[in-house]
Amino acid sequence: MTVSQGPLPRLLAIDDSELIHRLLRVRLQHEPLEIHGSMDAREGLELARRMVPDVILLDIEMRGMDGFQVLQALKDDVNLQDIPVIFISATASMEDRVRAIDHGAIDFVAKPFEVVELKARVRSALRIHQMVKMLAQKAQVDGLTGLWNRTYFDRRLHQEVSEAVRHGRSVSLVMCDVDGFKRLNDECGHPFGDAVLERVARILQGGRSSDIACRYGGEEFGIILPNTMGTEAMDVAERYRVAIEAESWPGPAGRVITASFGVSDLSLLAGPQGSEDLIASADAALYRAKMNGRNRIEVAPLARPAG
């Protein structure tokens, strides 16, 4: 078995019997695990929200709130829904087992449990959790540039816009498109075009740590700027524009590659707006930047005409 790097996976046991907690602490003490426990369903749920464990052992029959209700609450929470939950129960009726699995529990262990079996099931749940996390991460990253991909961009922008509206904050979007990219590709070949995208991506990723750079598609990038007003977003875009223009490239000396930018600030749009409006207005601004000579930044108008 390989020794895993980094912190130990964390197990949270929610069970109303102190006898079970004592037993788990002793029986799992030699496993590469950090063990946490709660004797109360609600308190356990709170603890799960705070610590976001890697695996949860959950009793069914508890006072106040039973295991199924806890499972439902876990599945309803986006931060917790992927954590594998293993039911441990002395009831173990067929109906309960089926219901547990149908509601999203990954496994079911009957009490009294065989120690070797429990350990194996915990290891298996952790392995699956690890794979799910890895796949989820891979499904959101662009293979060429390593930036977040379009799927992630759409979801995250929607989330940031909702947050901004709820808390009365601003959020800005910068759309960026490499100028004359098709011609570059045709004249210098696709490998060169790819190298340009990678280099531009690295520049866009090197901005403020709170900014979220994504590959929107082709040679177009979208940078989400939470908590940022339009004027500030323009400064950010200008730094990117200058950095891209200053980049030196292989091939003929003095080759300059530039990009155009469209900036939009949610709070400056008219009426209640969603993420689609933010994209449309930033895209329209980007189009104007192209029309007005490229290698420049344009901002979405303060308010869209009524109608």
Q: Which of 3, 19, 94, 116 binds another protein (CB under 8 A)?
A: 19
Query: Known catalytic residue: 219?
Result: yes
Q: Which of 12, 20, 147, 299 binds another protein (CB under 8 A)?
A: 20
Size of the site for another protein (CB under 8 A): 18
Residue 256 binds another protein, judged by CB under 8 A: no
Q: Which of 4, 8, 22, 270 binds another protein (CB under 8 A)?
A: 22
Residue 170 binds another protein, judged by CB under 8 A: no
* The one catalytic residue among 18, 43, 61, 219: 219
110 versus 243: smaller Cβ distance to another protein: 110
Residue 6, burial from CB neighbour count under 10 angstroms (0-12, 13-18, 19+): exposed
| Residues 258 and 176 sit within 8 Å (Cβ to Cβ) | no
Q: Strand 171-178 vs strand 220-226: parallel, antiparallel, or unpaired?
A: antiparallel
Q: Which of 90, 135, 139, 291 binds another protein (CB under 8 A)?
A: 90
Q: Which of 23, 55, 106, 125 binds another protein (CB under 8 A)?
A: 23
Residue 112 binds another protein, judged by CB under 8 A: yes
Q: For the chain, give me the number of helices (H) and strands (E)?
A: 10, 10
| Binding track over 208-247 against another protein, x by CB under 8 A | ----------------------------------------
Residue 16 binds another protein, judged by CB under 8 A: yes
Question: In angstroms, rounded to a whole number, what is the distance separating the alpha carbons of residues 262 and 257?
Answer: 17
Nearest Cα to Cα of residue 255 among 203, 201, 194, 179: 179
Question: In angstroms, rounded to a whole number, what is the distance separating the alpha carbons of residues 296 and 179?
Answer: 10
| Residues 60 and 67 sit within 8 Å (Cβ to Cβ) | yes
